Structure 1
Amino acid sequence: MATDASVTLESRIKGAIHGVAVGDALGGPVEFQRRGTFGKVTGYQMNMNFNLPPGCWTDDTSMTLCLAQSFITARTFSALDQLQNYIAWHKSGYLSVSDYCFDIGNLTLQTLGYWNSRLPRKNTNESSSSHSDHGPISDEALATLQTNLNKNFKRSIFCGNGSLMRTVPIGLFYFSSSPEEITKYSHLASELTHPYPTNGEACAAYCILVAYTLSSSPNTPSKQDMFAKFKEFQFDDPTLKSRFETYDTLADIRDRPEKNISSSGYVVNSLEAALWAFFSTDSYQEGCIRVVNLGDDADTVGAIYGGLAGAYYGLDAIPADWKEGLVKKEVVGRIADELYQVIIEREQQNQ
């Protein structure tokens, strides 16, 4: 499929949100399975890991929707609101495909447990959670809590992909902002559950790419332009720097053999796998099939790929049967619609 040279901002924003959900739902059934041990995934399947019907998304999409919903509600970056949404998802199934939390990463579980015991709970339209005994909390108190969390979890052993998988709304909401501002908010959003700098830098590089696709609308940048934008990012983290400095040209990543791509839950591997699938294919569908068939953490690499590819190719480029086959597609659609409206309002106010 040739890339449409003209993709609207609306299509890119909605494509990114739907792209996460579709990639997640396609990869979910082969999560935890070693590459080559399952039949090729080309459409939705029953998720036997959690006894879910075809088209069900997992925690990757739920947390992405929670972050997007925070921007819709708060109209700005609110760490407290984001955390309250995540806690409502974990405790009461808010924005879950199944109305309960059936899958959560180990670090996310630990850090949300920390926040849950210290923050006021909020009621949500889709959550029956009641308010906790905690009263209002100031920004200063929240910052102190973050500092204390960092003492336990800001370590190199805590470098899973749990913040990268949900981060695409940062790139969408701040698409017209400077790379420095996008980097700032990427780190702030990541550190709520994944405070080690490797996680924040991976989120920042990814969100800058997402933002670049939106800021180019209605024109579509070439994959060469996208690769050049990625190479502009200056990694400070030594692991990320060494991993990606080996790619001097687009051909280097495009032609990298699949056997050299890991789809584990390590954030560096997850970012590389998603970018490899994006740069080595020419359509949302082709890249999505390629990335989820890597297996292992297939739902998450699918979601990460899907957010970027959905923003790049646009909503219409995602196969119609994949969009229609999503369970609770109306929830994904509503949040995509409302996020687009909030972003447009923000852009108009900033003009």
Structure 2
Amino acid sequence: MNNQLLQSRIKGCLFGVAVGDALGGTTEFMSAREIQARYGHLEDIIGGGVWRLAPGEVTDDTAMTVCVAEGILENPAEPMEKIGRLFLEWYNTRPKDIGNIIRHVFERYEGDWFETAFVADLELGQSGGNGSLMRCLPVALAYADLGEMERVTTMQSRMTHYDPRCDEACRIYNRIAHRLLGGEELRAAIQSEVAGTMYEDSIKAEPDCEPSGFVVHTFLWVVHILSNAANFSEVVQRAANLGGDSDTIGAISGGLAGIYYGYEGIPAKYTEAILIKDRLSQIASRLFALQTSS
């Protein structure tokens, strides 16, 4: 793959996450019926919603994705300490939206991420949320080596989510991203990685579950949307109009769609609306440099 196309895919990935997040943030926690009654079919980034977002404002999905990306860029060999510091700096800004599992871990962190995540899992009774899946794509953008990519993918998940289902979803997701960065077709890449897993049937059949924050439910919907949408806009609009955890499903599906369709495949009305677009562009350039230097 030529460098120009790879750069477009890396930039498209980060913007895809942000666009899916900003669009879906308007409809988070609503039902599909409520969305239909209020917006018809939501197509534009308008803000509002439960978090009273400004148009183009992103939520925790993109914010934590940025933390993972910038932490890796600070220390690609062993990024956990840097990622964790950026997580806590972000948390101390009192963000509007933060998941319960992640909040629980951050409140109890005393120096060991894995131990804190383990204790949080015990205290909460589970930690199978989608919060580590929503932020893990920068790992696939940073590491050309598949083994190293999988190692860091799992590490960043276990920092907050002590649940093997989260580890598995993150690894499958980033292996799909790895294939897309290598030039594979979207549906073929998905099929290759979900074959034989609980996610395989959702390629064709609509998931028989709510679009909830449970990592399995989230990833079932992501696989279904990506396998059945015709272009980037359809991907993020389908996610936004589901309701439920629509910002996160939009961010996760939008990230892979952004890789596949490239930055130029995302309508300008979306990319120009994102309030942190300059920061995302800068991170994309740095990740491209890291990917191509390895």
Give the counterpart letter for 1:80 in structure 2. E
Matching of residues 1-351 of structure 1 within 5 Å = 8-38=5-35, 39=39, 40-92=41-93, 100-115=94-109, 118-119=110-111, 142=112, 146-147=114-115, 149-153=117-121, 157-174=126-143, 176-178=144-146, 180-216=147-183, 221-231=184-194, 241=197, 243-245=198-200, 247=201, 253-254=203-204, 256-257=205-206, 260=208, 262-345=210-293, 347=294
- The 1:336–1:172 alpha-carbon spacing in structure 2 relative to 1, beyond 3 Å, is same
Instruction: Give the Å deviation of 1:330.
Output: 1.3
Gaps of 5+ in 1: 1-5, 93-99, 120-141, 235-240
Cα distance between partner residues in 1 of 2:125 and 2:153? 18
Offset, 1:48:
3.2
Deviations 1:287-333 (A, max 9, x none): 11111111010100000001111111111101111000111221222
User: How big is the shift at 1:275?
Assistant: 1.3
Paired letter, 1:335? I
Change in CA separation of 1:275 and 1:224 when aligned onto 2, cut-off 3 Å: closer
In the aligned structure 1, how far is the partner of 2:277 from the partner of 2:188? 32
1:113-156 residue CA offsets vs partner (Å, 9 max, x unmatched): 222xx24xxxxxxxxxxxxxxxxxxxxxx4xx623541442687
**Matched residue SS, 1:282:** coil
Displacement of 1:76 in angstroms is 2.9
- The one-letter code sitting in structure 2 at the alignment partner of 1:55 is G
Question: What TM-score, normalized by structure 1, do the two folds share?
Answer: 0.76
Between 335-344 and 311-320, report the one with greater CA deviation: 335-344
Distance 1:310 1:50 in 2: 25
| C-alpha distance in 2 between matches for 1:190 and 1:317 | 29
Of structures 1 and 2, the larger Rg is shown by 1
**Aligned in 2, Cα 1:43/1:83: closer, same or farther, shift over 3 Å?**
same
Letter in 1 for 2:14: I
Q: How far off is 1:183 after superposition?
A: 2.9
Identity %: 30
Task: Note the C-alpha offset of 1:343.
Answer: 2.1
Determine helix, strand or coil for the equivalent of 1:56: coil
Cα distance change on mapping 1:153 and 1:277 into 2, 3 Å: same
Whole-angstrom distance in 1 between the partners of 2:49 and 2:187? 39
Instruction: Give distance in 2, aligned partners of 1:58 and 1:23.
Output: 10
Larger helix fraction of residues: 2
Q: 1:300 to 1:323 in 2, by over 3 A?
A: same
Shift of the 171–253 alpha-carbon distance from structure 1 to 2, 3 Å rule, reads: same
Rounded Cα–Cα distance in structure 2 between residues aligned with 1:158 and 1:28 = 22
Q: Secondary structure at the match of 1:47?
A: coil
- Amino acid in the other structure paired with 1:177: D
**Inter-partner Cα distance in structure 2 for 1:7 and 1:41:** 32
Give the TM-score normalised by structure 2. Answer: 0.90
Do 1:187 and 1:197's aligned partners in 2 also have CA atoms closer than 8 Å?
A: no
Secondary structure, aligned partner of 1:8:
helix
